[in-house]
Structure 1
């Protein structure tokens, strides 16, 4: 839902993510934004706990993007400018899952979810580009699945987009939706950008 402060000044947002799902969610929130990518080696950053890993990756993305901003980029026209960086992992039976490294791994991921459950852990970090102030937080969602037929898994694998999402988990996909038994949390969080959390962090960072 749009907040009233949007109507009082020009807010420039840079989304530090190439994810079409995050872009869709941010658009649904009523924001205009530009997109920049960090282009970091995410697998070079390792943490034992999923919460620590997603926070570290969101911070690393911000650190990589800010130096690439042209001088004055975040001052022209806008009265306030923020950078939003995010990360997400899937946790299955206590194990962190990032983007599948192959179709074979993606297939195994989905087979594991069939008839079971998994969780997403997402981080959002908002950086005020004028002041340097940062505010971040986490959101977690639990997803429970019906049994997923092998043919559905095959079709998902063939589309290959599954290789670009954490844990190969694309719950919003039309092929997957019928096999979602329950979501404890919000679908926007599963898509990588929890709306309520992002809105709160933007307000707190300004």
Structure 2
């Protein structure tokens, strides 16, 4: 069975490689607009499901498994997407400063002619106090612009994190333990599971 990652995210590609999977990328093309009144957990699960089903529909009758994921930063029950401009990014960092927020990732595994399986993972992250000058300096780098919440924990913004409860890889964009369990449960093996064969 061929594994297809329905994402163009370099972080997700690196994380899937890190745990020993062979795959190819075929990014989804969907409308990612939240619905009015949609809760953050429902939103990320819907996004992962729609990404996976959109891509698996390209392979009718083929022996493929499509893995999709969606990550959102959530504070005060608001979803913080990718910053659209400098002002938006500054507002996001100001909201996150000296506070705790949640990072939600939904992962979905979809096979043709089978019921999709979706899992939701949540991690709590606490930031130190961020000065205006520090936020401005961070926004002057290329790092925040394609990241949910306007920061990358695996980059410079790792210095902003006072504490983390839960999966670190979830904050990067793909919860590794849950992804492995999901794939392994459907018989999709990584290098650890095939090395003894």
Shift of 1:159: 2.7
SS in 2 for 1:43: coil
The correspondence for 2:50, drawn from 41, 60, 63, is 60
Q: Unpaired segments of 5 or more residues in structure 1?
A: 1-10, 76-80
Task: Tell me, yes or no, if the aligned pair for 1:127 and 1:205 is still in contact at 8 Å.
Answer: no
Q: Does 1:177 align with 2:164?
A: no
Q: Distance in 2 between matches of 1:127 and 1:55?
A: 13
Aligned partners of 1:103 and 1:163 also within 8 Å: no
* SS of equivalent residue, structure 2 residue 124: strand
Tell me what 1:166 maps to. Answer: 148
Cα gap change, 1:181/1:18 in structure 2, threshold over 3 Å: closer, same or farther? same
When the two chains are superposed, the root-mean-square deviation of aligned CA atoms in Å is: 2.0
2:25 matches 1:42: no
SS at match of 2:140: helix
Does structure 2 conserve the Cα–Cα contact (< 8 Å) formed by 1:18 and 1:37?
Answer: yes
C-alpha distance in 1 between matches for 2:186 and 2:84? 35
In 2, Cα distance between equivalents of 1:61 and 1:141 = 22
2:70 aligns with: 87
Shift of 1:47: 5.3
For the residue of structure 2 that corresponds to 1:176, the secondary structure is helix
Q: Which residue of 2 aligns with 1:117?
A: 100
CA drift of 1:25 comes to 0.8
Counterpart of 2:174 in 1: which secondary structure? coil
Gaps of 5+ in 2: 188-197
| TM-aligned CA deviation for residue 44 of structure 1 | 5.8
Partner of 2:191: none
> Is residue 68–residue 109 contact of structure 2 (8 Å, CA) maintained in 1?
yes
What is the CA–CA distance in structure 1 between the aligned matches of 2:51 and 2:91, rounded to whole Å?
29
Matches within 5 A, 1:106-145: 106-129=89-112, 131-145=113-127
In structure 2, the residue matched to 1:16 is 6
Matched, 1:32 2:13: no
1: distance between equivalents of 2:111 and 2:180? 14
Cα offset for 1:128?
Answer: 2.5
Length, aligned pairs only: 187
Q: Are residues 1:201 and 2:182 paired?
A: yes
2:169 maps to 1:188 = yes
Return the offset for 1:21.
Answer: 1.0
